[in-house]
Amino acid sequence: MLVGIDASRAVTHRPTGTEVYSQRVIEELLTLDSPHRFRLYLCTEPPDHLFQDAELRVIPSPRLWTHTRLAWEMVRRQPDLLFVPAHVIPPVHPRLSLVTIHDLGYLHFPRAHPWRQRVYLDLSTRWNARVATHILADSEATRSDLVAMYGTPPHKITVSYPGTDESLLPVTDRSVIQAAKDRYRIPGDYFLYIGTLQPRKNLRRLVDAYAELIGRLSETSVHLVLAGKRGWLYDELFAHVEDLGLDGHIHFPGYVAEEDKAALLSGALGFVFPSLHEGFGLPVLEAQACRCPVVTSTTSSLPEVAGQGALLVDPREPAAIANAMGRLLREPGLVNQLVQRGLRNVERFSWGMCARRILDVIDQVSTR
């Protein structure tokens, strides 16, 4: 069977969660022993190191690529099945289609998204849920949301957990950690967040929690680093930090290069990820893989992903976030316990297992 894959989101220059998912899942699928042939559809040429020896269809288009160029490709040379790992099924598609739906956070926290984005996400996800032959969900939390909010039949959804970057390992060389800190101008000891700077990530409350934490300390040598590219309403976050007089203690180094992520995580006092909603929460696993103790939320998929390797807090309560951060400073025994549990937790997830699960679904769907 010819399986077409929308690989357009797999070649982003600075990938975030869904782009990483798309790239890694496709790479792993191509390595599996399978009776199927795979054809990848892209809007730009991939980097030389990606998808070597794969069958590629590069169909450039400046705008509306999915709804125009990919749809037209489905009219002209339709595969037997189309898999869309990180976007929307085109209006013209094969009889058999498979799509990954990552989260429905825009329904839980609509004010955390611009209204146009919210409307688009709702319409496109409803379309995906309705027309797909089968749906992949990143977590049981997302699966439950699809059933509860869109009435999707449970038997139409399979949970396939994403994996982690196997090359992301703890950095023990202090000079390497210091060099990374110097590159991003991070002074002293620090708590770390990595992700897009946007309202859904709950960073305003994290800033409030940090303000409460240092108010309790006898000195303020502990810093907060909020790393990641600027998202919607980031100016309000910067203004809030200035209003609190914390611009010398809270740092915004921007997007962190993949080669520096392990060093920054390994050098942190803790990784604080109080997101309001996540379909999976890959950064939690990345921190655990680098022996960094984690504070994260009690909401959505985050307890499911973090397992026993994190302190779970109500993300709506800055005092609760501050208390958890304070425990990481005061209780070395707890830190060691979280680190060991985190390392064991990471073993539950791999891109190989994720791709194998997806291939099993493709095999099942292909018999219909």
Same domain, 128 and 52: yes
CB-CB contact of 210 with 246 (8 Å) = yes
d(CA 170, CA 198): 28
CB-CB contact of 163 with 182 (8 Å) = no
**Pure H helices in the chain:** 17-31, 71-76, 105-108, 115-131, 140-150, 174-183, 203-216, 234-243, 258-267, 282-289, 302-306, 318-330, 332-346, 351-366
Q: Quick one: tokens of 44?
A: 């730009």
**In terms of residue numbers, what domain contains 78?**
2-163+350-366
- Look at the chain and report how many structural domains it folds into: 2
Same domain, 275 and 325: yes
94 within a domain of the structure (yes/no): yes
Same domain, 215 and 307: yes
219 pLDDT higher than 70: no
Q: Quick one: tokens of 115?
A: 């209204």
Same domain, 156 and 258: no
Sheet holding 250-251, edge to edge: 250-251, 222-227, 189-194, 270-273, 294-297, 311-313
Same domain, 330 and 359: no
Mean pLDDT of 165-176: 93
Same domain, 115 and 89: yes
105 within a domain of the structure (yes/no): yes
168 within a domain of the structure (yes/no): no
pLDDT tens-place string over residues 129-138: 999 999 999 9
169 within a domain of the structure (yes/no): no
pLDDT tens-place string over residues 47-75: 888 898 889 999 998 788 999 999 999 99
pLDDT tens-place string over residues 244-290: 999 889 999 999 998 999 999 999 999 999 999 999 989 999 999 99
Same domain, 340 and 354: no
**Residue 291, CB-side half-sphere exposure with 13 Å CA sphere:** 9
d(CA 183, CA 198): 24
* CATH at residue 213: 3.40.50.2000
Q: What pLDDT does residue 268 have? A: 98
